[in-house]
């Protein structure tokens, strides 16, 4: 991942949370940037595939979704919770396990 992306993400985090306002700021900032950058490649691949949904085969799309759900999504949720409150708002969030 490019250092430019890391710098921009750090800038976004800093705009929300000022260092003097939180004793664990540096640790939170580092973790936020890590989680966002670790998920970025999977998110980009999925976004690209969704733009080509009419031509991508079902197996490939399924593998991309699997990768996003198992790898990128947990990173994004962690980053979101470091950045702000992330609510559980959809009843179906328990998925097949809730039925």
Helix (H) or strand (E) holding 74: helix 73-83
Residue 40 pLDDT: 97
Mean pLDDT per 10-residue run, the chain (99 residues)?
Answer: 90 90 90 98 96 94 96 96 88 70
Residue 7 pLDDT: 97
Residue 97 pLDDT: 67
The whole-angstrom separation of Cα 36 and Cα 41 is 10
Where are the domains positioned within the chain? 3-85
Residue 88 pLDDT: 80
Residue 31 pLDDT: 97
DSSP conformation letters of 7-67: HHHHHHHHHHS-GGG-TTHHHHHHHHHHHHHHHHHHHHHHHHHHHTTTTS-HHHHHHHHHH
Residue 18 pLDDT: 83
Residue 21 pLDDT: 76
Residue 55 pLDDT: 94
Compute CA distances 90 → 35, 53, 69, 72, whole Å. Answer: 23, 25, 16, 19
Can you give the pTM of this predicted structure?
0.86
């Amino acid at each position: 991942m490019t250092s430019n992306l890391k710098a921009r993400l750090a800038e976004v985090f800093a705009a929300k949370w000022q260092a003097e306002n939180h004793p664990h700021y540096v640790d939170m900032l580092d973790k936020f940037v890590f989680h966002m950058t670790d998920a970025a490649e999977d998110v980009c691949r999925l976004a690209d595939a969704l733009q080509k949904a009419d031509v991508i085969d079902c197996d490939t799309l399924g593998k991309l979704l699997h990768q996003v759900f198992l790898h990128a999504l947990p990173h994004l949720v962690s980053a979101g919770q470091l950045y702000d409150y992330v609510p559980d708002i959809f009843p179906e969030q328990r998925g097949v396990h809730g039925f």
